Copies of this chain bind each other. A is one copy, B any other.
Amino acid sequence: MAPKVGDELPDSTLYEGSPGGAVKIRELFAGKKGVIVGVPGAFTPTCSKTHLPSYISNFDKLKEAGADVVVTVSVNDPFVMEAWGESLGVGDKVRMLADTRCEFTKAVDLSFDATPFLGNERSQRYAMLVVDNVIKAVNVEASPGEATCSLADPVVELLKAM
């Protein structure tokens, strides 16, 4: 399950910083090109050691390829997301957005039941390319533990082709 290419982004609110200021995802991508990186969990190994670092280290390539904005979305609270961003040294490169109540993730049909290990519904691992609030591509990993098609390199190529 995933949103269809051509769908508009939902009118969802995410949260950033401590105690978590509201960020309307459609305001962020209005007239902009960028990437939404969905991850299952802050501080989990694949997200922290492979997935997010690929976007931090390739940030300049993403900008050159046309990305105005790069955000990470995870179903964690904003306090955890901020701490995770600091631990990864995201600086002002990748915005760490908390989908506190799993509302955005469900709206784009990318949640999965992670109750046994993480306690609740979480986000699948994906990279979503968005141009002016329209979804142009979605690379969803076959399982949340994998990080291949959602890494920064294939996303740079997709951005270049757009």
Contact = CB atoms under 8 A, between A and B. Distances in A.
Contact of A79 (B41, B82, B102, B120): B41
A75 B20 CA distance: 19
Interface of A: 18-20, 41-45, 75-77, 79-80, 82-84, 87, 100-102, 115, 117-120
Given A102-B119, A117-B20, A119-B120, A41 B83 contact: no
B117 A42 contact: no
A84 B87 CA distance: 11
B119 A100 contact: yes
Contacts of A44: 18, 77, 79
A119 B42 CA distance: 14
